[in-house]
Structure 1
Amino acid sequence: MNTKQAWGLGLASLASFMMALDSLVVTTTLTTIRQDLAASVESLEWTVNAYNLALAVLLLTGAVLGDRFGRRRIFIAGLAVFTVASVACAMSDTIGALIVSRAVQGAGAAMVLPLSLTLISALFPPRQRGKAMGLYLGITGLATFSGPLIGGLIADGLAWQWIFWLNLPVGVIAIVLTARRVDESVGPNATVDFGGVVLVTLGAFGVVWGLVRGNMAGWSSAEVLAALLLGAALLVAFVFWERRTTAPMLPMRFFRLRAFATATSANFLVFASLYGTLFFLAQYFQTVLGDGPLQAGLRLMPWTATLMVFAPIAGRLADKVGERRFMVGGLALQTIGAGWIAAVTSTDYLELLPALIIGGAGLTMAMPAAQKAAVGAVQPQEIGQASGAFMMLRIFGGVFGVAISVAVFANAGGYASAEEFSQGFTSAMYAVTAFAFIGMLIALGVPDKAKTLEDVNAR
C-alpha cells in the first residue's frame, strides 16, 4: 500500500466512521434529549428517522453526483454539509430545530458514504481491493460497536450536545486532508433520477408521517388516512416510474431475480427489527432500570459486540454452506431473542443478557449473508448499482421499523411512569419480534448457494 492509497483509505474510513456513528450515537442520549427539550416520543422518533430517511432517499443520488461532478469535490461538499449540520444540531434549543438539522446531516452523509466506497475502488486495484474493503468495513463496524457507549459517555460526562460538537474538528480536518491528499476522479456521466428521488422521498415521508401521527391524531382521522394513502400511492407511482425511466435509481428488473428480491426483503426486516430494538433498549435501561446514559451504553455492549464477532465468521462460512441457512438461522435467533425480552421484561439485567446476545448474534449472522445473496444474483457490471439499491432499502427498513415500533409503543404505554413505559416497551418488542419472524419466512425463499450461481450463469 503506497502513501496515496493509505491516505485515501484512512480518510474514507474516517468519514464512514463519522456517518455510521451519528446514526447510532443518539440512541443512549434519547432520554436526556427528551427531558432537556421536552420532546414527545413522536419527536424523538424523528431525531432518528430524519437522519436515516434523508440518507436513504439521497444515497444513490450522491453517488451519481460524484461520478458526474467529481468524486473528491462531492465528497468534500458532503463532509462540509454534515459538519455544518452537526453544529446546528449542537446549537438546537428546540426539538424541531434538532430534527431539521438531523435531516440535513443525513443529506450530507448521503454524499459521503457511497463515495467513500468509490474512492477506495478507484485507488486500489482488484487484487488489493478486498483487503482495503475489509479494513474500511472493520472501522465502520467499530462505530456500530462503540456508538451507544460513546453517546452515553458524552451525555453522562458532558452534555448531549457534545456528540455533535465533536464532529466539528474531525470534519474540518477530514475536509482539509481530503483536499490535499486525495486526487480527483470522475465516473460515467450518469443521469440523476430526480423524478425517482422526489417520488420515493414524498412517498416514504407520507407513510412514516401517518404512522407517527396515528396514535395522537387518531388512526381514522383525515390527516392520518390522507398521509398513509397518499404516501402509498406515491410509492406505487415510484415503482411505475422506475420501470419506465431510462436511468432508474432502483432498477425494478432486479426484483425478477428471486435471490435479490427475497434477500433484500428479508434484510429490510432485519434492519426494521434492529432499529426498533435499538430505539427502545437504551431508553428502557434508563427509564425502568434507572441507569444513566453511560451505564445504558455499557449494558448495550454485549449486544453490539456480536457484530465484531459473528459478522466476519458468517460472511466467510456463507461462501461454503450458502446464504439461506445463515439468513434463516440468524432471523430465527433474533425472533427468539426479541421474543424473550418481550416476554420477560425484567428489571434484572442478567435475565435479559442471554436474550441480547442471542438476538445480536442472529442479526449479525443474517446481515452479511443477505448482502452476499443480493449482490451475487446480478451480473458483475451491475454489482455497484445492486449494492446501492440494497443499502437504500436496508436504511428504509430501519426507518419503518422505528416508525411502526413507536406507533405500537405509544398505543400501549408512554413516559408517565416506569410501569407505563414498560407496558409500551413490551408491545414494541413483540412488534420487533414479528419483523424478525416474517423476515425468517421470507428468507426461506432465498435460493441456496449452488442454485444462485446457476441462475447467474443461466443469464
Structure 2
Amino acid sequence: MRRTVLVVAILASFVAFLDSSVVNVALPAIARDLGGGLALQQWVVDAYLVTLGALILIAGSLSDLFSRTRVLFVGLIAFGAASVLCALAPSGGVLIAARAVQGVAGALLVPSSLALIISAFDGEDQSRAIGRWTAWTSAAMLIGPFLGGVFVDTLSWRWVFGINALPIAVTCVLLARLPAAPAKAGGRVDVPGAVLGALALGGIVFALIEQGQRGWTDPVVLGSAAIGVVAGIAFLIVERRVRQPMLPLSIFRVHDFAVGNVATFVIYAAFSLGPLMVGLYLQQVAGVAAWLAGLALVPTTVVSLLLAGRFGRWAGKVGARWFMTVGPVIVAIGFLSMLLIRHPFDYWTQLMPGTIIAGLGIATTVAPLTSAILGSTPPSQAGISSAINNAVARVAGLVAVACAGLIVGEHLDLGGLQRVLLVVAVLLVLGAAVSGIGIRDEFLRRDNGARR
C-alpha cells in the first residue's frame, strides 16, 4: 500500500512540475499558430504561475482539512480537463484561460502529494520516500524542455499538453485503490485568510513576472506589488486572530521549519537562475538547438534520480544538517566548473562535468532539505507545511529570474554568463552556511524519542 502511495504522490506532482517547464520551448510555435506575439507567449507561462502561486497556500490548508486523496483526485481531474482544453485551444485567449485553470489544479496537487507521503511514512522510510519524490519532480523540471522540443519538432505544440494524459490516468486508477483519509473533525475553511493569502501571493508573483516586461516603475507592477504587500500584512493580522487559521503562525516557531525555509529561498533562487541562464546561453549565444539545450542538462537529472533516494535515507539515519551543508557546496562547484565554457563551445569538456557534479549536489541537498522542513512539523500540518515550502521555492525562483537582468546586463554574452555562475555559487554557499549553522535535526530527535 505504501508503495502505491509513493507512486501516486510522485505522478501527481510530476505532471504539475512537468507542465511548468515543458511548454517553454513550444512558445514560438504557439505564437506562429495562434498569433498574439510576445504578449501571448508571456501569458501562456504567466497564467499558470500566477494561479499556482496565488492558491498554493489555500490548497495546502484544504489538504489538511479534508481527505488528501479526494483533494488529489479533484486536482488531477481538473488538470487533465485543462490540459485537453490547452491542446484543443482555438485561440490565444482560450489557451491562456486553460493555463490558468491548470495552475489552480497544480496548486491542489503538489502540497497534497507530499502530505500523503508524510502521513504514510515515518523515520528513515519517510526520508527515503521524500528523496524519491524530489528526484522525480526535479527530473520533471529538467526533462520538460527536451520533451517539449521533441514534440514541437516532430508533431505539434498541441501534443506538449497531451503529455499529461497518460500519467493522470494512471494516477487516478492507483488513487482509487487507496482508502480515503478522513476529514479533520470540526475543520472549517478560513475564507478571509484564503482570500487575503491569494491576493498577497498573487500580487507579489504577478509583479515579479510583469516587471521583466514593464519595469519596476510601471503603475501595473507597482500597484500589483502594493496590493500583495498590503494583503500580506492583513493576512498576518487575520491569521493571528481567527479561531481556525489557514496558516497557524506558530508553525514558524518550529526552529528547523523556519531555518529550512530560509535555506530553501536562497538555494532555490540559485537552482532557478543557474540552469535557466545556461540554457539561454546555449541557444542564444552558442547556437545550440532548443531540444539539444534541454538534453544538455539531462546528466544532472540522471545523477539525481539515481542517488536522491539514498541520500534521503541516510539523512533519516544521521540527520539532514550535514547533507544540507555539503550538498549546496557541491552544486556550487558544479556551476563554477562551467566557467570553462568558451567559444567555440564544446559540451563534453566545458559543460558535461559540471552537470554531473551539480546533479550529485542536488541529490545530496534536496531530499534532506525537504525532510528537515516537513519532518519538523506534525503530520496534521503536512499540507500547509508543504505549501509554504513550495511557495517559498517558487517565489525565490521568480525573484532570482527578475534580478537576472541586473546581473547579465542588456545582452547575454559569455561575460554575463560568468557573472551569473559566480552569483549562483555565492547563493549556494550562503544556503549551505544557513543550513550548517541553523539546522538542529529536530525531526531526527523526535523520531528517536518516539522509538524509545
Q: Same fold (TM over 0.5)?
A: yes
- Tell me if structure 1 keeps the 8 A contact 2:329–2:361: yes
Cα deviation, residue 264, structure 1? 1.4
- Do 2:264 and 2:392's aligned partners in 1 also have CA atoms closer than 8 Å? no
Which of these residues, 195, 199, 202, is aligned with residue 202 of structure 1?
199
**Letter of the structure 2 residue corresponding to residue 289 of structure 1:** A
* C-alpha distance 182-173 of structure 1, shift in aligned 2 (>3 A): same
What is the one-letter code of the residue matched to 2:78?
Answer: V
- Report 1:65-104 matches (<5 A): 65=62, 71-92=68-89, 97-104=94-101
| Residues 152 and 129 of structure 1, relative CA distance in 2, 3 Å threshold | same
Give the AA of the match of 1:402: L
1:447 alignment partner AA:
I
User: How far is 1:384 from its partner?
Assistant: 4.2
- With over 3 angstroms needed to count, the CA separation of the structure-2 counterparts of 1:395 and 1:285, relative to structure 1, is farther
Question: In structure 2, what is the Cα distance between the partners aligned to 1:363 and 1:443?
Answer: 15
**Structure-to-structure mapping, 1:27-426, within 5 angstroms:** 27-29=24-26, 39-40=37-38, 47-48=44-45, 50-62=47-59, 64-65=61-62, 71-92=68-89, 97-116=94-113, 133=129, 137=133, 140=137, 143-144=140-141, 146-168=143-165, 171=168, 175=172, 177=173, 181=177, 183-189=179-185, 190-214=187-211, 216-341=213-338, 344=341, 347-349=345-347, 350-378=349-377, 382-386=378-382, 388-409=384-405, 412=408, 420=412
* Identity between Structure 1 and Structure 2 (%): 30
User: How far has the Cα of 1:255 moved from its partner?
Assistant: 1.9
The amino acid of 1:250's aligned partner reads L
Shift of residue 199, structure 1, vs aligned partner: 2.2
CA distance in 1, matches of 2:447, 2:240: 22
Q: Is the 8 A contact 1:207 1:227 kept in 2?
A: yes
In structure 2, how many angstroms separate the alpha carbons of the residues matched to 1:426 and 1:413? Answer: 12
Report deviation, 1:298: 1.9
Shift of 1:354: 2.4
Deviation at 1:82, TM superposition (A): 0.5
Structure 1, unmatched stretches of 5+, are none
Structure 2 letter corresponding to 1:440:
A
Rounded Cα–Cα distance in structure 2 between residues aligned with 1:46 and 1:434: 32
Q: State the shift of 1:183 in Å.
A: 4.9
Structure 2 distance, partners of 1:331, 1:128, is 22
The equivalent residue for 1:441 is 433
Per the alignment, do residues 232 and 29 of structure 1 end up closer, same or farther by CA in structure 2, a change over 3 Å counting? same
Matched-pair contact (CA < 8 Å) for 1:196–1:249 = yes
**1: CA distance between counterparts of 2:47 and 2:70?**
25
Counterparts of 1:428 and 1:121 in 2: how far apart (Å)? 36
Q: Give the aligned residue type for 1:192.
A: V
| Contact 2:333–2:357 (Cα < 8 Å) also in 1 | yes
Superposed CA deviations along residues 95-146 of structure 1, whole A, max 9, x for unmatched, are: 6654443231121123334444566788x69799759947973765654564
Distance 2:254 2:130 in 1: 27
Cα distance change of structure 1 residues 367 and 420 upon mapping to structure 2, 3 Å threshold: closer
Q: Which residue identity lines up with residue 446 of structure 1 in the other structure?
A: G
What SS does the aligned partner of 2:362 have? helix
User: Equivalents in 2 of 1:129, 1:332: separation in Å?
Assistant: 26
Distance 2:416 2:82 in 1: 32
- 5+ residue gaps, structure 2, are none
CA displacement at 1:439 relative to structure 2: 2.2
Indicate conservation of the 8 Å contact 2:82/2:102, yes or no.
Answer: yes
3-state secondary structure, aligned to 2:351: helix
8 Å CA contact retained: 2:139, 2:301: no
User: Residues of 2 paired with 1:146 and 1:102: CA distance?
Assistant: 20
The superposition leaves residues 320-348 of structure 1 with CA deviations (integer Å, 9 ceiling, x where unpaired) of 54322221222223334335546846533
CA separation of 1:353 and 1:81: change in aligned 2, threshold 3 A: same
How many residues are matched?
Answer: 445
The Cα offsets for residues 330-386 of structure 1, whole Å up to 9 and x where unpaired, read as: 2223334335546846533231222223333323322122222223433xxx13414
Report the residue type matching 1:77 in the other structure: V
Check whether the contact 2:12–2:110 (CA below 8 A) recurs between aligned residues.
Answer: yes
What root-mean-square deviation, in Å, do the aligned CA atoms of Structure 1 and Structure 2 show?
4.1
Residue by residue over 1:292-336, the C-alpha shift from the partner in whole angstroms, topping out at 9 and shown as x without a partner, is 333223211012223213322322333454322221222223334
Q: TM-score, normalised by structure 2?
A: 0.80
The CA deviation at 1:388 is 3.6
